[in-house]
Structure 1
Amino acid sequence: MARTRAGLRRTAAAIAMGVAVLTMGVPTIAAADKEAPAPPGPIGDPTGNGAWPAIAESRADAPGYTIYRPADMPAEPLPLVLWGNGGCRDAGLTASHFLREIASHGYVIVANGAPRGERPVKTGIPGEDAVGAPAPTLPLTPPRREPDETSTDQLLAAIDWAAEANGRTGDDLEGHVDTTRIAVMGHSCGGLQALQAGADPRVDTVVAFASGVYVRRGSGLSGVDITKADLVRLHTPVAYVLGGPTDIAYANGMDDFDRIGHVPVMAASIPVGHDGTLSYAAGGDWALVGTAWLDWQLKQDEAARHWFVGPDCRLCVSPEWTIQRKNFPETP
């Protein structure tokens, strides 16, 4: 992955600090997340900067999921990516702009949650409305907790669903899904689902966006049953992509990084707040980094490797990003 975007050339001062999207521990829920699921079929026009512009899709045989894939599937089987939504919501279009972008680079993505309403593309600079905002005080004690709308078991069940679709004669996905190359990713509560799912032996890498196991058990809204002790069950390279000190998950994610010592682990942070760039055009900087990580881990792409490896890695020399690594290769 060799391309750049103006976002990676902005200065940290220009992008400013973002506020977390949790106020008093309660996540912001868009009205679109409560809409009725879309009928079976494509959702939105093909889009994305990769070689295969991608669509979101509702499928009758996958009522609890939203599928993202190239509109015109390439001949070779594509790696499988599982996605957990922020708030563990049953709303598979919450990160649609980000996930279409990732899929356009040659991935089949199954997102937890039915395809409800789609959020509009955000404009401007992430976090620009929060200049000088203080970092959140952790741990927060939420005033109430609602049951999670999706689960880690549901996330992992998508592997079996994808394998069945891959082997079904006449299915659009027939022969196009490689279930020997699997990533689990998620945002916030969905990141906890990804970290928990990362213990599954079928998983090849984990990416947690604005997420981390609570420093104090029970101090957040999520019902995902994972503790710091469970981090030893991770068996693959792990990436934490955080939104800077105003990201309400920043302390949790960095604490996870400090505790993990048995597998390759990276903590990369850019000061854009808890919601990051998921809702921006093409998923913004988080999509750039997420795609590069997947390309490196699942496709062994050497150009993508240079985003993360070596003293002069692309994130290492970027003025916006801070990066820490452990158990990484020492040379590009």
Structure 2
Amino acid sequence: MKRLPALLLAAIMSLGMVTAPASAGQPAGIDQQWALPGTSAVKVKVLAAHTLYYPAVLTGRRPVVLWGNGTGVVPGVYSGLLRHLASHGFIVAAANTPFSGTGLEMRAGIDLLARFDGDAGSEFHRHVDLQQIGAAGHSQGGMGAINAGLDERIDTTVPIQPGPLAASGKLKGPALFLSGGRDTIVPAALVVAMWKQATQVPAVYGSLREATHLEPSGDGGGYRGVVTAWFAYRLTGNTAAAAEFTGPACGLCVDAAWTDVRRNSPAG
């Protein structure tokens, strides 16, 4: 793997030094529904290699979201966001690593949950939907989400302000690329370039107008609603969520908090 440019690497690593969420994301537009808490109470299980966030009462089979952290930080930095996803019914497997760029640690979450699903003594027994798996992450973890998404078991990815060492042109499923309008660490132009490479799958791009690179920390800030809506759309087939990304007046397209929204030809 190539090395990150020194300045970019140093800047990304600085994420580990500041964990407070930014204030750019206020509920508006797409956030009016999807940034609100879901109906499920949430449980958290900290294991050796992963932290699991999931609905306290598991019924049926629940879709999975794999999570990758930014450089130098752990899942707790994003606990509000990951709890939020769990409240909307997702089982989140967050890799307990500050270096998730390869995507390997994230993909290991699939194997972990598959074991639990097959274990009659586990609370996850027959409650994990291994046919509906998404991957998301921030900064280096966003890069890791793309690299994890090269695995055919992963249905969709959401790279948030992703680092550059990822092969988006080899993704196997639909992707939502997110940048920040005030992000000086991973510039929007870099994320646009990665979106442009993903011509083989439906791919959507959007820039959160006022977001800095620290926006996703804590409760996800202005990214919380759009990430939740994307996974509800792609992993559960929710029609209201689909409307946020499809059609000439999609929710993301007309939301004033977002700018430069793009959809490639496969995305319609």
Corresponding residue for residue 223 of structure 2:
286
AA of the residue aligned to 2:50: Y
Corresponding residue for residue 170 of structure 2:
233
**Alignment pair present for 1:49 and 2:32:** no
Contact 1:186/1:209 (8 A) holds in 2:
yes
1:169 to 111, 114, 120: 120
Residues 311 and 56 of structure 1: is their aligned pair in 2 closer, same or farther, counting only changes over 3 Å? same
Residues 31 and 315 of structure 1: is their aligned pair in 2 closer, same or farther, counting only changes over 3 Å? closer
> How far 1:255 moved relative to its partner?
1.1
User: How many angstroms apart in 1 are the aligned matches of 2:171 and 2:79?
Assistant: 27
Corresponding residue for residue 70 of structure 1:
55
5 Å-filtered alignment, 1:301-312, equals 301-312=238-249
5 Å-filtered alignment, 1:55-134, equals 55-58=43-46, 62-73=47-58, 75-87=59-71, 89=73, 91-113=74-96
Any stretches of 5+ residues in structure 2 without a counterpart? 1-7, 20-35
Judging by fraction of residues, say which structure has more helix: 2
AA of the residue aligned to 2:149: G
The RMSD of aligned alpha carbons is 2.3
Residues 88 and 205 of structure 1: is their aligned pair in 2 closer, same or farther, counting only changes over 3 Å? farther
* Percent sequence identity over aligned pairs: 31
Residues 173 and 305 of structure 1: is their aligned pair in 2 closer, same or farther, counting only changes over 3 Å? same
Contact 2:168/2:195 (8 A) holds in 1:
no
More displaced, 188-197 or 79-88?
79-88
> How far 1:244 moved relative to its partner?
1.3
Corresponding residue for residue 295 of structure 1:
232
User: How many angstroms apart in 2 are the aligned matches of 1:151 and 1:245?
Assistant: 26
Contact 1:88/1:149 (8 A) holds in 2:
no
Contact 1:310/1:329 (8 A) holds in 2:
no
- Aligned to 2:218, the other structure's residue is in SS state coil
> How far 1:328 moved relative to its partner?
4.5
CA deviation profile, 1:298-325 (whole Å, cap 9, x unmatched)? 1111100011111211111111112111
Per the normalisation by structure 2, the TM-score is 0.83
AA of the residue aligned to 1:255: A
Contact 2:149/2:173 (8 A) holds in 1:
yes
- Aligned to 1:95, the other structure's residue is in SS state helix
1:27 to 9, 14, 33: 14
**Alignment pair present for 1:179 and 2:125:** no
CA deviation profile, 1:52-79 (whole Å, cap 9, x unmatched)? 1223221xxx301111001222x11101
Equivalences, count:
242
AA of the residue aligned to 1:289: V
> How far 1:233 moved relative to its partner?
1.4
Q: Which has the larger radius of gyration?
A: 1
Residues 86 and 266 of structure 1: is their aligned pair in 2 closer, same or farther, counting only changes over 3 Å? same
> How far 1:83 moved relative to its partner?
0.3
Per the normalisation by structure 1, the TM-score is 0.67
